[in-house]
Structure 1
Amino acid sequence: MINTIIFDFGDIFVNLEKETSIVEFKKLGLDGPNEELLTMNDLFERGKITELQFIESFKKYIPEADILDIRKAWNSVIGEFPLYRLEFLQMLSHKYRLFLLTNTDAIHISRFEHMAGISFFSDFYQCFEKVYYSFEMGMRKPDPEIFNYILKKHDLSPKRTLFVDDKKENTDAAAALGIQVWNLNVGQEDVVDLFEKKILE
């Protein structure tokens, strides 16, 4: 019987506008991500480099772009957070131990909080026993240690814990540790379909 749920954030609760971000960067002259920028993103999500170091890594490829414009393009990926998902989460919080575990960075979290407003994001955070950001933890999914840390820290039983994420590499890593998983198919499934998946029975 599941008694704990660990949720991802992006495309689980807040919609990610990935195509919008690509378009915005193209306007600045960047034709999609490359290996160096992906590496810098990984470091930024682990909290290993500063916000300025991350933003300036783009300047190598789009030297004419203003730092504020780069930041705006980076944040354009953060989309809507539908109220019905918050209401669903609030209902769950009365029945299960809930945790948030997300690969993210300080820029995106700041943007989300600004867009959502203090009342909304406070209600959201209050649903969780603990919120875990990769950039604060110094590690990110699908590293096994990030899951093991939470299991040990909160004395969780893997077989009684459900992990919900839209990336298969993340749910595969959790499943390898004995955690129950739901690899949510974005666009075809919604987190509020949880009970329809029969996972919690």
Structure 2
Amino acid sequence: MINTIIFDFGDVFINLNKEESINEFKKLGLDGPNEALLQLNDDFERGKITEEQFLDGFKKHLPNVSTDEIKAAWNSLIGEFPLYRLEFLQLLATKYRLFLLTNTDIIHMENFENQVGISFASDFYRCFEKVYYSHEMGMRKPDAAIFNFIIKKHDLSPKRTLFVDDKKENTDAAELLGLQVWNLQPHEDVVDLFQKKFMNATLHA
């Protein structure tokens, strides 16, 4: 029987405006992500570089654009966090050990907290036994090390732990370590999915 759930954040609880973010950068003169910027993002999400170094890395590709404009385009990714998902999570927290594991950076997390307000953010964080940000851990999904760290730190049983993420590469990595997984699809809502799946006896086998 499942007794623990590890959740991703983006496109699970909070909606991500991926196309809007790309379009905002296009307005600034950037055609799209390139290898250097993808590596820059990876380093930032691992906490290997500072916010200033990250923004300076973007300015190399957008020399005539201000830091504030780059930051605004970067934050345009962060969308709505529907209240019903928080209420669902609060109910779930009374029945399961919950953890948050997200590949993210300090800019996005500060933007999220400012956007929803301190009361909403606090209520969200209180649902979890522990919140794990990749930029604080120095590693990111789908690294096996990040899953093994949480399993060992909290003495979790992989077969009794469910991992929910919208990226298949992440759920595949967790599954290889023995965790039960759900790869949330773009057309699915985490609340609807859980209501359906929790009625399935196979989940509790």
- TM-score bracket, normalised by the shorter chain, equals over 0.9
Count of aligned pairs: 200
State the 1:157 CA deviation. Answer: 0.1
- Give CA deviations for 1:140-175 in whole Å, capped at 9, x if unaligned: 000000000000000000000000000000000000
For residues 7-26 of structure 1, what are the structure 2 equivalents within 5 Å? Answer: 7-26=7-26
Which residue is equivalent to 2:91? 91
Extract unaligned runs of 5+ from structure 2: none
In structure 2, C-alpha distance between the alignment counterparts of 1:85 and 1:157, rounded to whole Å:
26
The within-5 A match list for 1:55-94 is: 55-94=55-94
Q: Which residue of 2 aligns with 1:3?
A: 3
Q: Distance in 1 between matches of 2:49 and 2:61?
A: 19
Q: What amino acid sits opposite 1:89 in the alignment? A: L
Alignment TM-score, normalising by the size of structure 1: 0.98
Deviations along 1:88-120, whole A, 9 cap, x unmatched? 000000000000000000000000000010110
> What do you get for the CA RMSD once the two structures are aligned?
0.8
SS of equivalent to 1:80: coil
- SS of equivalent to 1:70: helix
- Matched to 1:71, the amino acid is K
CA shift for structure 1 position 61: 1.3
Question: In 2, Cα distance between the equivalents of 1:74 and 1:36?
Answer: 16
- What's the TM-score once normalised by structure 2's chain length? 0.96
Q: Counterparts of 2:195 and 2:145 in 1: how far apart (Å)?
A: 29
- 1:137 is aligned to 137
Q: How far 1:76 sits from its partner (Å)? A: 0.3
Matches of 1:47 and 1:140, distance apart in 2: 10
* Residue in 2 that maps onto 1:189: 188
SS of residue matched to 1:181: strand
